[in-house]
């Protein structure tokens, strides 16, 4: 029976599959923002990243599917380290998490604000800063976008080769490593940043999320501040596939069909300072041909007076099932690849992350 993990502004809310729908199972960390979850299928371990505000970031682990939780020391910088001259380095947000590959059962990665990548070799008991990325010569050009500092919000591990990694930094771009993080190269050819003097700058791009297709990891999709981009050659070249005269353009989240790299979903919004649903009507856009064309999926979604936006970690897919959560506490699900939607709840806190755990 599948579980649905919703990280929200007021706790971790878990639903369980009930026929073709979902029923509430439990709530954890009531009143505390949960920025992200990870279900590590290698060990059946559940992770919850917490943002206590004044008390800082906390990390919790469960080995019994959420029945009990144990706090694990969150990653931290060494004393005296600085983000930039005069600014002490301190972890402000846990923004990305991934396991390190099936052949490395104890390896985990965490991406943070400020833009650091931490690695654990012992299932999260201890964490070490990946200094090669922190010390990358391009970092002096990184800058904050929606957050004060640049942050790592996406970590992708190639299922064919666990030494092959991608991370995405807002605002800097996508970086690739072939040696488990010992060295890094920016891979942003074809992206555009129309807010920069040079829109084609190698550093300074603003990816909102990157994801790889599980069945063909050379195909990666990117929802970007300046559009939707896809690569079919392992990030050597990115191609914009936004709609010129339609809603599929600005947004945060993207989902890819596990066995079809050409089929993807986005939930668009109006960009920059407005940040509401396009025409105040909630729509999911699906492509079946690698972004050449897009189909608007509106059945079951509100089409007037809608202020919802879907954050970068708030859309997930499993088989033919999709689920997304919004900034106004609405959660919608589809059992038919988005052809129609049903509302799971309209009474939740702001949703920060959505994960379907099979």
Instruction: Flag whether 166 is in a domain.
Output: yes
pLDDT of amino acid 20: 83
The answer to whether the CB of 244 falls within 8 A of the CB of 237 is: no
Closest CA to 278 of 317, 309, 315: 309
Domain interval for residue 159: 40-210
State the average pLDDT for the chain: 96
Cβ within 8 Å of residue 113, ≥6 positions away: 91, 92, 93, 95, 147, 149, 150, 151, 152
Scanning 96-252, the segments in alpha helix (DSSP H) are: 131-134
CB neighbours (10 Å) of residue 139?
18
Whole-model pTM: value is 0.96
pLDDT of amino acid 249: 96
Q: Check pLDDT > 90 for residue 262.
A: yes
Instruction: Flag whether 248 is in a domain.
Output: no
Q: Check pLDDT > 90 for residue 53.
A: no
Give the pLDDT mean for 235-245: 96
Strands 21-28 and 34-40: unpaired
Instruction: Flag whether 216 is in a domain.
Output: no
N-terminal to C-terminal alpha carbon distance within the chain = 7
pLDDT of amino acid 191: 98
Q: Check pLDDT > 90 for residue 145.
A: no
Instruction: Name the token pair of 14.
Output: 């878990």
pLDDT of amino acid 1: 76
Instruction: Name the token pair of 267.
Output: 């939930």
Q: What would the pLDDT profile of 85-114 be if each residue is shown by its tens digit?
A: 999 999 999 999 999 999 999 999 999 999
Q: What would the pLDDT profile of 55-87 be if each residue is shown by its tens digit?
A: 899 999 999 999 999 999 999 999 999 999 999
Instruction: Flag whether 147 is in a domain.
Output: yes
Instruction: Flag whether 15 is in a domain.
Output: no
Report angle CA 172, 173, 177 to the nearest 5 degrees. 115
Instruction: Flag whether 47 is in a domain.
Output: yes
CA distance 233 to 300: 36
The answer to whether the CB of 355 falls within 8 A of the CB of 315 is: no
- What is the chain's percent helix, strand, coil content, to nearest 5? 5, 45, 50
Give the pLDDT mean for 35-42: 97
Give the pLDDT mean for 33-51: 97
pLDDT of amino acid 237: 98
Q: What is the CATH number of the domain that holds 126?
A: 2.130.10.10
The answer to whether the CB of 29 falls within 8 A of the CB of 40 is: no
Instruction: Flag whether 143 is in a domain.
Output: yes
Instruction: Flag whether 302 is in a domain.
Output: no
Strands 3-8 and 351-357: antiparallel
Number of separate domains in the chain: 1
Cβ within 8 Å of residue 305, ≥6 positions away: 280
Residue 131 in 3-state DSSP?
A: helix
pLDDT of amino acid 242: 98
pLDDT of amino acid 117: 98
Q: What would the pLDDT profile of 182-214 be if each residue is shown by its tens digit?
A: 999 999 999 999 999 999 999 999 999 999 999
| Residue in the block written with tokens 């943002």 | 51
Q: For the chain, how big is the Rg over CA atoms in Å? A: 19
The answer to whether the CB of 25 falls within 8 A of the CB of 12 is: no
Cβ burial, residue 135 (10 Å; 0-12/13-18/19+): exposed
CA distance 67 to 81: 37
Give the pLDDT mean for 256-266: 98
Split at pLDDT 50, 70, 90, the class of 147 is confident
Split at pLDDT 50, 70, 90, the class of 260 is very high
pLDDT of amino acid 60: 98
Q: Label each residue of 264-320 as H, E or C.
A: EEECCECCCCCCCEHHHCCCEEEECCCCCCCEEECCCCCCCCCCCCCCCECEEEECC
Give the pLDDT mean for 155-179: 98
pLDDT of amino acid 288: 98
């Amino acid at each position: 029976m599948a579980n649905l993990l919703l990280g929200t502004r007021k706790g971790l809310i878990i639903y369980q599959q009930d026929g073709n729908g979902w029923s509430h199972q439990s709530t954890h960390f009531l009143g505390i923002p949960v920025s992200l979850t990870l279900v590590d299928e290698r060990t059946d371990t559940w992770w919850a990243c917490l943002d206590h505000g004044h008390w800082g970031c906390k990390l919790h682990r469960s080995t019994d599917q959420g029945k009990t939780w144990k706090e694990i020391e969150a990653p931290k910088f060494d004393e005296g380290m600085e983000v930039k001259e005069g600014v002490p380095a301190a972890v402000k947000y846990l923004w990305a998490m991934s396991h390190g590959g099936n052949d490395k059962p104890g390896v985990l990665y965490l991406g943070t604000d400020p833009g650091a990548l931490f690695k654990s070799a012992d299932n999260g008991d201890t964490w070490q800063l990946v200094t090669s990325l922190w010390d990358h010569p391009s970092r002096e050009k990184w800058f904050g976008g929606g957050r004060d500092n640049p942050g790592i919000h996406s970590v992708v591990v190639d299922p064919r080769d666990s030494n092959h990694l991608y991370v995405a930094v807002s605002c800097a771009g996508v970086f690739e490593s072939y040696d488990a993080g010992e060295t890094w190269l920016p891979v942003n050819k074809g992206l555009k940043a129309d807010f920069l003097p040079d829109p084609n700058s190698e550093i300074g791009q603003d990816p909102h999320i990157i994801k790889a297709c599980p069945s063909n990891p050379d195909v990666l999709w990117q929802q970007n501040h300046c559009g939707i981009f896809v690569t079919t050659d392992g990030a050597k070249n990115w191609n914009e596939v936004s709609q010129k005269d339609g809603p599929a353009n600005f947004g945060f989240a993207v989902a890819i069909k596990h066995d079809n790299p050409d089929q993807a979903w986005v939930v668009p919004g109006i960009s920059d300072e407005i940040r509401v649903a396009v025409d105040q009507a909630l729509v999911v856009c699906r492509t079946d041909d690698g972004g050449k064309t897009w189909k608007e999926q509106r059945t079951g979604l509100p089409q007037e007076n809608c202020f919802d936006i879907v954050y970068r970690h708030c859309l997930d897919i499993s088989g033919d099932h999709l689920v997304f959560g919004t900034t106004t506490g609405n959660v919608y699900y589809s059992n038919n690849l988005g052809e129609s939607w049903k509302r799971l709840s309209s009474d939740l806190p702001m949703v920060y992350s959505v994960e379907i755990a099979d």
